[in-house]
Amino acid sequence: MDSKAILSLIDLALSADPRTLRMHLHKVAVQASHYDPVLSEKILARLTANGLRSAQPPKPIPVDSDSRLNLVKVESPVVMDDAPIYSEDILALLDQVVLERKSASKLMAEGLSPAKSLLFQGPPGVGKTMTARWLASRLGLPFLTLDLATVMSSFLGKTGNNIKAVIDHASSFPCVLLLDEFDAVAKRRDDDRELGELKRLVTVLLQAIDEWPESSVLIAATNHGELLDPAIWRRFDLEVSFDLPSEKMRAAYIKTYWPELIKHANDLAHFFGEVSYSDIDRSLKKAKKKSILSESKFITCITGVAETTPGKKFELKKKDVIRLAAEGMSQRAISVALEISRPTVKKIMDQYEECKEA
Ligand SMILES: Nc1ncnc2c1ncn2[C@@H]1O[C@H](COP(=O)(O)OP(=O)(O)OP(=O)(O)O)[C@@H](O)[C@H]1O
Ligand SMILES: [Mg+2]
């Protein structure tokens, strides 16, 4: 793009004439498709998403009766430049959801419903929240988040009403609603006096899943699927289990999200070991800051920083387990010495034996 074109775009943006600006940006996207197709796609995605602003929630966002704070976070439109990295299985599941949603009228004409309630489970930092946003962006719908851990911290009687208000709101227009930290409901079992209220809350949630309209998507995300009531599990149309990324997926993540490290992506993916994307993200950001402040090379700062990430620490412990076992120490003694559970020690040794045999 030449400087004249840049200046005329700035003039248009400042003159607040959105229609002409959109037309010009469209032209820029078409021109860019010849020399930078990725940039062209990103411009077009922004134009499309921006055109969806009319899909803003029609009613006011529900608020907490005491604090008057919004009960849900709303993002509309959702623009994401890069797709999250997925295993083939999960990508196929998510593509199927998008296809069903986009062909909803076809399915409904035959008496079938598109997938409308999804349960995401898996360890922290592997993309549950990101995927819910990604689905909203692919479907061109506003993205609403209700953090159950936050609402659950208030007086339970009020929680039921708050959750109900959010669900009623989100059911009233097409959107994606994420119930984040879904296990928070299951976790609060500590006080018998609250049991009645809690049961009422679970009933509110079950009813919400059952009565959820076809026009919206309800996603519940949890780190602890095992804590959920089986009655809740059964109600979801689809469960998606996210895992820690494989080495290949870690390399793909670094190549996409950290293009300046593209040359080292395979080595780094191996070096980080079995950690989550957010562990890698945190380590790389820390290393990047260090490299800027100490004026040294990014790649040389990564090794030191990565050793301190929790996932990496665990990875390093794996080596210790194997070393101690080779020295003849029992699994019980290793578990005590390294402060990790016995089943974990066993799992590491089993994996190690399998690798040796292969
Ligand atoms: N599949 C992925 N592809 C690319 N980046 C990812 C992916 N998953 C996670 N990340 C990175 O990790 C960050 C945290 O991810 P996210 O919040 O989606 O994790 P989560 O599974 O919801 O974790 P939690 O259980 O802690 O809520 C993201 O902002 C992104 O930088
Ligand atoms: Mg999350």
pLDDT tens for each residue of 139-161:
999 999 998 877 776 666 778 88
Whole-number Å distance, alpha carbon 120 to ligand 2 midpoint, is 10
Question: What is the per-residue pLDDT across 13-70, written as a single tens digit (0 to 9) for each?
Answer: 777 667 777 777 878 888 888 888 888 888 877 776 665 444 455 678 888 877 788 8
Torsion of CA 209, 210, 213, 218, to 10 degrees: 20
Whole-number Å distance, alpha carbon 180 to ligand 2 midpoint, is 6
Angle at 147 between CA 143 and CA 151, to 5 degrees: 135
Pocket lining: 280 vs ligand 1, CB cutoff 6 Å: no
- Burial track 302-340 (b if 16+ CB lie within 10 A, e otherwise): beebbeebebbebbebbeebeebbeeebebeebbeebeb
- Give the burial class of 60: count Cβ atoms within 10 A of its Cβ; 0-12 exposed, 13-18 middle, 19 or more buried: exposed
The closest of 182, 176, 121 to 151, measured between CA atoms, is 182
pLDDT for 85 equals: 97
Most confident range, picked from 38-52, 77-91, 335-349: 77-91
Instruction: Give the ligand at the shortest distance from the Cα of 223.
Output: 1
Whole-number Å distance, alpha carbon 182 to ligand 2 midpoint, is 10
User: Among 126, 242, 249, which is best to mutate for testing ligand 1, by the most ligand atoms less than 8 A from CB?
Assistant: 126
Q: What's the whole-number mean pLDDT along residues 109-115?
A: 88
Residue 259: φ, ψ to 5°:
-55, -25
Pocket lining: 124 vs ligand 1, CB cutoff 6 Å: yes
Angle at 38 between CA 84 and CA 7, to 5 degrees: 125
Question: Which residue's CA is the nearest one to ligand 1's atom 7?
Answer: 127
Taking a C-beta distance cutoff of 8 angstroms, is the pair 251, 269 a contact? yes
pLDDT for 309 equals: 60
pLDDT for 337 equals: 79
Whole-number Å distance, alpha carbon 275 to ligand 2 midpoint, is 16
Whole-number Å distance, alpha carbon 126 to ligand 2 midpoint, is 8
Please report, as a single letter, which amino acid is at residue 273. G
Q: CB within 8 A of 251, min separation 6: which ones? A: 265, 266, 268, 269
Q: In what order do the strands lie in the sheet with 176-180?
A: 73-75, 143-147, 176-180, 217-222, 117-121, 238-241
Paired tokens of 130: 């990101």
Residues in the chain, how many? 358
Pocket lining: 275 vs ligand 1, CB cutoff 6 Å: no
Residue 191 has pLDDT above 60, yes or no: no
Q: What's the whole-number mean pLDDT along residues 288-317?
A: 76
Instruction: Give the ligand at the shortest distance from the Cα of 126.
Output: 1
The closest of 247, 250, 314, 315 to 278, measured between CA atoms, is 250
The helices-and-strands tally (H runs, E runs) of the chain is: 18, 6
pLDDT for 142 equals: 93
Instruction: Give the ligand at the shortest distance from the Cα of 82.
Output: 1
Question: What is the per-residue pLDDT across 205-240, written as a single tens digit (0 to 9) for each?
Answer: 888 888 898 889 999 999 988 878 788 888 999 999
Pocket lining: 127 vs ligand 1, CB cutoff 6 Å: yes
Whole-number Å distance, alpha carbon 125 to ligand 2 midpoint, is 7
The better pLDDT of the pair 143, 341 is held by 143
Most confident range, picked from 1-10, 90-99, 300-309: 90-99
Residue 318 has pLDDT above 90, yes or no: no
Instruction: Give the ligand at the shortest distance from the Cα of 245.
Output: 1
